[in-house]
Structure 1
Amino acid sequence: MNITSLKSLSLSAITLVILSGCQLAPTQPTLTLPVPDAYSSTEVKTSAAQLNWQQFFNDDKLQTLIAQSLEHNKDLQIAVLNVQRVRGMYQIEDSALYPSLDLNASGTRQRLPADLSSTGSAAISSQYGATVGITSYELDIWGKVRNQSAQALQNLYSTELSQYSTQVSLVSELANAWLNYATDLQLLALANETLASQQTSLSLTQKSFDLGAASLITLEQLKSTVATAKVDIARYKRLLKRDKNALDLLVGKPVPANLLPSADLESLLTMPEVPVGLPSDLLSQRPDIKAAEHLLLAANANIGIARAAFYPSISLTANAGSASSDLSGLFDSGSGSWSFVPSINLPIFNMGRNQANLDVAEAEQEIAVATYQQKIQGAFREVADALADREGYQEQLSALELLINSRKKTFELSSMRYKKGADSYLQVLDAQRTWYGAQQELISGQQAYLASQINLYKVLGGGWSSTTEQPTQEPK
């Protein structure tokens, strides 16, 4: 092999190293989930991946409100704008992988006095130039620029997933606010019905008292029950106004009356069956967990950036063009010009700053690992709690149904005994009061059960599988 071939081979090898670069970022190890493989129940009826918010919340009014909130809610709009901001930051970092081409044109005219001129007389000089070239393009030998781009890309993925997590939270909050309105509306209807019944009884008792057939204590007890019902009515009217305000805020605009709930809680939300015994690794698809995973990858790339600071950096500045002392001859033959200015920077001593930056990057990566695992553990508990709530509220509702029937029967028997003179009216009032309380408990129990269903939608990531997958192509 002759010297020319050897030089050609060496130049090719150097070019390959420059173009391919070194990868100083550590390889990200596969992380195991710090949770059990499955939940306690073994029942699996459907896949959470097949569900989205339209399938969870199939009431036409609620679907309309959710669609409006996804368009007008300010928190979601801020999340969308934040994604646009981070996408721009990624494009800035990614552009550093490629040289920038600039076109420059300049012209100068200068008069020199006689005592400064080489000819001994005043002279006017002119110079014109036009060049195209690259300025301070850093060769990515150690992968620093690629790791900066990779870090920005992972931050973009994380921000996009955080936006979807915000959307899931918004849908669940709106469904809960809508449920709260329906609950207070039903409690108000119950209080109005109870007040009407008690006012009828009070009117009859007042007439009996005036005729001397009823005692004063019976009359006063009835007045207290009427007052209690009025207090409840005032409270539920106040709560309904607050519920409406919450709906307006979540939707982002005033909610019209025709979109407010009106049906009973039993038929308000007919939600599909959700997975009970799903394996715990499905939690890694939750948008907030996937966002933490991408932050972990970003921290990994940051280590490569910190390591590259220990190595020399090479920058190139080059241009080619034309220069002339006469503007009309700027592009004539023989006026060509070029320059090539490579520069190298080798860190020697900086009081340990580079090592400190590397230590910080490694610590941040360990923090990201711990945060990722913590989020998974927290998510596993949230899902397990939601499943436990759903099962517990189902049993509670069954018991409340029995309690309602028993209290109603007690009230009916007390009324019959009072009419026959076997009991005083105080027993009737007590039975009516306990029946009213049991009805309130049933409505609250129905709300709690439906709220647990909404919460389960939220903690499972809300139809996440088709939406929170990592993009297959880099953002443009």
Structure 2
Amino acid sequence: MRSIKALGAVTLSLALAACDMAPKYVRPEMPVPTSTPQGPAYAEGGEGQAIVPADTAWRDFFTDPRLARVIETALANNRDLRIAMANVEQARAQYRVQRADLLPTVAAGGTATYQDQPFSQAGSGRTDIYQAQVGISAWEIDLFGRIRNLSRAAQEQYFASVETRNAAQTSLIAETANAWLAMAADQERLRIARDLEGAFGKTLALTKARFERGIASELEVRQAQTSYDQARSDIAEATTLVAQDQNALNLLAGTTVPATDLPDSLPQAGATIENLPANIASDILLRRPDIASAEHQLRGANANIGAARAAFFPNISLTAAFGSLSLGLSNLFGSGTSFWSVAPTASVPIFDFGRNQGNLQYARATYDAMLATYEQSIQTGFREVADALARRGTMTQQMEAQMSLRDSARVAYTLSEARFRAGVDSFLTTLDSQRTLYTAEQSLLATRLTRATNMVELYRAMGGGLK
């Protein structure tokens, strides 16, 4: 027994003093400029303290209570997010399995042997042998860090799956918000089409009446009819889009969204807070979950290099047992029946025909691929933020121009219709004014939707949505 304890102490000391063959991990430099671009398309810093998206809970960012309830429903029911959560549990279980190899597996067992054989002088006799033991079998003593690096790689894979799940949550929040805003815009587009249908219908009726009195031509009637029919067609199209938007929202939410949570138009005050930073330092990208996941993958690949290197060195394993052996079951644990055995083994690779070298090359190539993936994730994130900031920087001027265009078109339509009724202008002028107003209304709506979704994209691109 003292021998087993002494051997265990020596083995533990060797394991604690084991080597680590993995290269020292150093975070790569970011392959992007230190801050986001500056120029005419990018806004200067606004007044007040800008929020940090990664530190801002989505419930604080999305200010419309109906939208907030839809997002909460999606986080609870979306199937893609459930898959991502299941992947996390799978990676955690795999890490536990790999980590268990660091410690010996202790097992208890017993055997009974019954035999009857002839003896040269005493005739035949029966012998019963009973044995019970506790021991470990072929436990690899991790002197060169092979198992520890494999365990570290599994741990990094688990961490990466957690960040992938976080990225899925961030994307789900953004997709749900954008789908809700798209439905709001299509509801408003439907209202505009119905309003214009009414106006075009009145113009058509007036033109027909003038035609019957010989004041208007058939050409004017046909022109008025085309505008009216276009509005009818747009109503049908917008009605379809609203239904499809609701279907998309139900899919993201994982259930049927209550009618009370559906939008009827784009919120005039906006659906989100707007004091996001106008320019940022590039290192904020490291807080994005997709980039954090890519770095964990890189760390895991680095650990696999250590495991591949350790395969070139001797493998030492230990098998040990302690138990009792007797010729009768009643004496199995009696005095003088105990036994112990220890069997250390060592193997050194001599000729493996390039297997270990191939594994090492594969591990290094995998690291290079993970490094490129990590750097590409940063570059992609940098572009997404820069693109969103460029859109945001010119959005105010675009909104002002579109609102002025819409207001001017509305006044021009009112004046042209009055002049047409008074017989001062031709119907063609009124028809042109109607179409210009319709186009201006649609363009302003599209700009408002772009502004709303731009805030959502900025929040997502800067790593928001985890709280």
What is the TM-score normalised by the length of structure 1? 0.91
Tell me what 2:225 maps to: 223
Q: Which blocks of at least 5 consecutive residues in structure 1 are unaligned?
A: 1-10, 468-476
Match runs of 1:185-204 below 5 Å: 185-204=187-206
Contact kept in structure 2, 1:106 and 1:129, CA below 8 Å: yes
1:209 and 1:47 map into 2 onto residues whose CA distance is: 64
Tell me by how many angstroms 1:77 deviates.
Answer: 0.3
- Distance in structure 2 (CA, Å) of the matches to 1:338 and 1:129: 12
Contact 2:21/2:309 (<8 A) preserved: yes
Report the Cα offset of residue 323 of structure 1: 1.1
Equivalent of 1:65, from 55, 70, 89? Answer: 70
* Equivalent position amino acid for 2:84 in 1: A
Residue 404 of structure 1: how far off its partner (Å): 0.8
Q: Deviations over 1:141-197 (max 9, x none)?
A: 001111111111111101100000000001101111111111111000000111112
Q: Which residue of 2 aligns with 1:20?
A: 17
1:321–1:420 distance in 2 versus 1, CA, 3 Å: same
- Segment drifting more, 78-87 vs 387-396: 387-396
Whichever residue aligns with residue 85 of structure 2, its letter is V
Contact 1:194 1:436 survives alignment (8 Å): yes
Which structure 2 residues correspond to residues 285-304 of structure 1 after superposition, within 5 A?
285-304=287-306
Q: Judging changes above 3 Å, is the alpha-carbon distance between structure 1 residues 118 and 130 closer, same or farther for their aligned structure 2 residues? A: farther
Task: State the distance in 2 between where 1:195 and 1:12 align.
Answer: 89
Q: How far apart are residue 449 of structure 1 and its match?
A: 1.3
8 Å Cα contact 1:265-1:446 kept in structure 2: no
1:344-359, aligned counterparts within 5 Å? Answer: 344-359=346-361
Show CA shifts across 1:371-414 (max 9, x none): 21121111111100010011233322111111112211221221
Is residue 81 of structure 1 aligned with residue 89 of structure 2?
no
Mapped to 2, the partners of 1:353 and 1:30 lie a distance apart of 30
Q: Counterpart of 1:343 in 2: which secondary structure?
A: strand
Q: What one-letter code is carried by the residue in structure 2 that aligns with 1:322?
A: S
Gaps of at least 5 residues in structure 2 are 1-7, 39-43
Paired with 1:201 and 1:49, the residues of 2 have a C-alpha distance of 54
Structure 1 residues 371 and 13: CA distance shift in structure 2, 3 A: same
Q: Give the Cα separation in 1 of the matches to 2:224 and 2:188.
A: 23
Question: Which residue matches 2:258?
Answer: 256
Which residue does 1:31 correspond to in 2?
28
Partner of 1:438: 440
Aligned pair in 2 of structure 1 residues 424, 86: CA closer, same or farther (>3 Å)? same
Match of residue 183 from structure 2: 181
Give distance in 1, aligned partners of 2:254 and 2:465.
23
CA distance in 2 between partners of 1:39 and 1:302 (Å): 35
Q: For residues 109-148 of structure 1, what are the alpha-carbon distances to aligned partners after superposition, in whole Å with 9 as ceiling and x for unaligned?
A: 1222x3xx45462322211111111111111100111111
More moved, 254-263 vs 348-357: 254-263
Q: Give secondary structure in 2 for the equivalent of 1:24.
A: coil
Amino acid at match of 1:270: T
Q: Using the alignment, how far apart are the partners of 2:12 and 2:438 within structure 1?
A: 86
Q: Residue in 2 aligned with 1:403?
A: 405
Which runs of structure 2 are paired with 1:120-159 in the superposition (5 Å)? 121-159=123-161
Question: Residues 448 and 66 (structure 1 numbering): CA distance in 2 closer, same or farther, change over 3 Å?
Answer: same
Please name the residue that 1:334 is paired with: 336
Count matched residues.
Answer: 452
Which of 382, 387, 396 is the matching residue for 1:394?
396
Verify the 8 A CA contact 2:85 2:165 in the aligned structure 1.
yes
What does 1:277-288 correspond to in 2, within 5 Å?
Answer: 277-288=279-290
Q: Deviations over 1:200-234 (max 9, x none)?
A: 22223323322333322222221111100000001
TM normalised by structure 2 equals 0.93
Q: Percent identity?
A: 38
Conserved 8 A contact 1:151-1:302: yes
C-alpha distance in 2, partners of 1:231/1:197? 15
Amino acid at match of 1:19: L
- Distance in 2, matches of 1:386 and 1:202, equals 44
